[in-house]
Amino acid sequence: MGSVTEPAPGEYGPPEPRGTGEGDSSRDTRGDHGFFGQPRSLANIFGVEMWERFSFYGMQGILLIYLYYSVAEGGLGMEETAAAGIVGAYGGGVYLSTILGAWLADRVLGSEKVLFYSAIVIMAGHIALALLPGFVGVGVGLVLVAFGSGGLKANATSVVGTLYSEHDPRRDAGFSIFYLGINLGAFFGPILTGLLASTLGFHWGFALAAVGMAIGLTQYSFGRKRLPAEASVVPNPLPRDRIGLVIGIAVAAVVAVVVLVVTGLITATNLVTWVIGSVIVAAVGYFAVILSSKRITTVERSRVFGFIPLFVASVAFWSLYQQQFTVLTIYSDKQLNRDLFGWEMPVSWVQSINPIFIIILSGVFAAIWTKLGDRQPSTPIKFALGTAIMGVAFLLFIPFAGGAANSTPLLAIIGILFVFTVAELLLSPVGLSVTTKLAPKVFHTQMVALFFLSVALGTAISGQLATFYSADNEVVYFGVLGGIAIALGAALAVGSRGVLKLMAGVR
């Protein structure tokens, strides 16, 4: 996505980007209708994204319990709080890595190559989790999956976009099919990896995630040559005389992290704190560079200021929503009644509930916004509602607080996750869209980076917050966090007119 430093005049739009593939009409997909009326290449991207989400959510569905289950149960025996912190730090790292993935696509390799190599890195990470013992496998595996997932997430959508001309009427339907693949993978991943982990052991679950990614990578490899040449374009190639500097910075960063780990300054218990600090520094840096630039207009600067309340609301939302993979996992393991006709379903299956609701409700919300047209709520109001409703979802845990083991009915969690999904659909789909509308022309990629940083920061904070959770303080935990989210949502709603004024015509 762009550097934190301000782009120099003329840095964007080089005279001749590498890998343009001009004149290669055999790779033009605009007239291809071979996949349900869509370009056949969509099937390959659909497949790699579906299997990547299968492996990602499949692994994440069993990761936390693998960390804190006892050695006798096949786990690593960590304390729950430390384990939750690691999961939060890993999740924050995934979204932080999207910035690196987008930068590599913009400056070095192009979106298609970054997508392909990222899939290989992800598969290697899952293999490490499956084969390497103990904390070595966790360390190597999570780092590889985080970097790979960030690279693939940052570029898969971009590659899909190259399949269509700007005004192709199939474009929206094509993206809908693509997002269906994401949610199908997110649904089946936790079910199948959780089933293997609960019957054969955790490493079998991680191995299935690796197999899934391998399937997605293989089918994608066969279709790479059919992709448009535009997918391989490097929009803003890095000057050759700066390659050495970039490599030096990368090596220095890796060495610095290794030194911090070896000297004990970075540990399993404070890793999430380091991630939170890194994201905050990056976000402040982006805002400072953009707002202090002399290359943006008064209107553009106002719009960036208007984005700040949305950034804060996004952080608050994701800090609660992403606790599906920390607090909700612990809650499902300890207090949820998972009995299904005399058989106890795996803990990870709870993670498959949300994707079902996403598939069902996405069309409903799209129809509502279409029918309302210009009368639909403004973006600040949607953000306010999403944040407040996420707070309400946390309050819904309170009636079941302090219950005995396995005392919370499965139907209650299904209902709570339905509210999670409603909140998500109010905020998440419009987040990236409004960010691009508010972005100054010379800082488009930096603003998109800021949106992903809000997700990274919220996800990392979700891991930090989870360290304060215990069955003994559930009323306070869910009550305080839910109340704060509702208060933030209400404050944004009250101030929405002021925010809209700052947004200067963007609604």
CA-based nearest residue to 177, from 44, 57, 52, 369: 44
- Does pLDDT of 13 surpass 60? no
| Cα(36)–Cα(21) distance, integer angstroms | 27
Which tokens hold the place of 261?
């780990």
| Cα(485)–Cα(138) distance, integer angstroms | 33
Element of type H or E holding 425: helix 410-438
CA-based nearest residue to 84, from 479, 481, 470: 470
- Does pLDDT of 142 surpass 90? yes
CA-based nearest residue to 177, from 88, 298, 49: 49
- Which region among 103-117, 166-180, 189-203, 348-362 has the lowest average model confidence (pLDDT)? 166-180
CA 196 to chain centre: 25
Contact (CB, 8 A) for 471 and 334: yes
| Cα(400)–Cα(14) distance, integer angstroms | 60
- What is the three-class DSSP state of 266? coil
Task: Please give the share of the chain, as a percent, with pLDDT higher than 70.
Answer: 92
Looking at the DSSP assignment, which residues form a beta bridge with residue 23? none
Residue 23's CB is within 10 A of a number of other CB atoms, namely 7
Which amino acid appears at position 443 of this protein? F
Quick one: average pLDDT of 71-100?
89
- Which region among 1-10, 273-282, 315-324, 333-342 has the lowest average model confidence (pLDDT)? 1-10
Dihedral sign (CA 337, 92, 267, 207) = positive
Show the CA angle centred on residue 426, arms to residues 420 and 429, nearest 5°: 105
Structural domains of the chain sorted by starting position, each given as residue range(s) with its CATH number in brackets: 34-238 (1.20.1250.20), 270-507 (1.20.1250.20)
Supply the pTM of this predicted model: 0.84
Which tokens hold the place of 339?
């009995």
Quick one: average pLDDT of 224-242?
83
Quick one: average pLDDT of 18-30?
48
pLDDT tens-digit readout, 107-116: 888 889 999 9
- Predicted pLDDT of residue 185: 93
pLDDT tens-digit readout, 299-309: 889 988 998 99
- Does pLDDT of 67 surpass 90? yes
- Which region among 192-196, 234-238, 331-335, 481-485 has the lowest average model confidence (pLDDT)? 234-238
The gap between the terminal CA atoms of the chain, to the nearest Å, is: 24
- Predicted pLDDT of residue 1: 39
The residues near 350 (Cβ < 8 Å, ≥ 6 apart) are: 190, 328, 329, 332, 336, 413, 417
Residue 345's CB is within 10 A of a number of other CB atoms, namely 17
Quick one: average pLDDT of 366-373?
80
- Does pLDDT of 32 surpass 70? no
pLDDT tens-digit readout, 375-429: 888 889 999 999 999 999 999 999 998 877 778 899 999 999 999 999 999 988 7
Which tokens hold the place of 354?
């949300």
Contact (CB, 8 A) for 41 and 226: yes
Which amino acid appears at position 10 of this protein? G
Buried b (16+ CB within 10 A) or exposed e, 131-140: ebeeeebbbb
CA-based nearest residue to 58, from 187, 182, 193, 216: 193
- Predicted pLDDT of residue 448: 78
- Which region among 29-38, 47-56, 114-123, 316-325 has the lowest average model confidence (pLDDT)? 29-38
Mean of all residue pLDDT scores within the chain: 85
Q: What is the CA radius of gyration of the chain?
A: 22
| Cα(431)–Cα(240) distance, integer angstroms | 35
The pLDDT-based confidence of 4 (bands split at 50, 70, 90) is very low
Task: Please give the share of the chain, as a percent, with pLDDT higher than 90.
Answer: 42
Q: Which residue has the higher pLDDT, 444 or 97?
A: 97
| Cα(64)–Cα(80) distance, integer angstroms | 8
The pLDDT-based confidence of 14 (bands split at 50, 70, 90) is very low
The pLDDT-based confidence of 20 (bands split at 50, 70, 90) is very low
- Predicted pLDDT of residue 3: 39
- Does pLDDT of 30 surpass 60? no
Instruction: Count the residues in the chain.
Output: 507
CA 70 to chain centre: 29
Q: Which residue has the higher pLDDT, 12 or 431?
A: 431
- Does pLDDT of 155 surpass 80? yes
Quick one: average pLDDT of 344-367?
88
- Predicted pLDDT of residue 391: 96
| Cα(274)–Cα(252) distance, integer angstroms | 17
State the number of CA atoms in the 13 A half-sphere of 395 facing the CB. 12
pLDDT tens-digit readout, 314-350: 999 999 999 999 999 999 998 998 888 878 888 899 9
Which tokens hold the place of 501?
């004024």
The pLDDT-based confidence of 31 (bands split at 50, 70, 90) is low
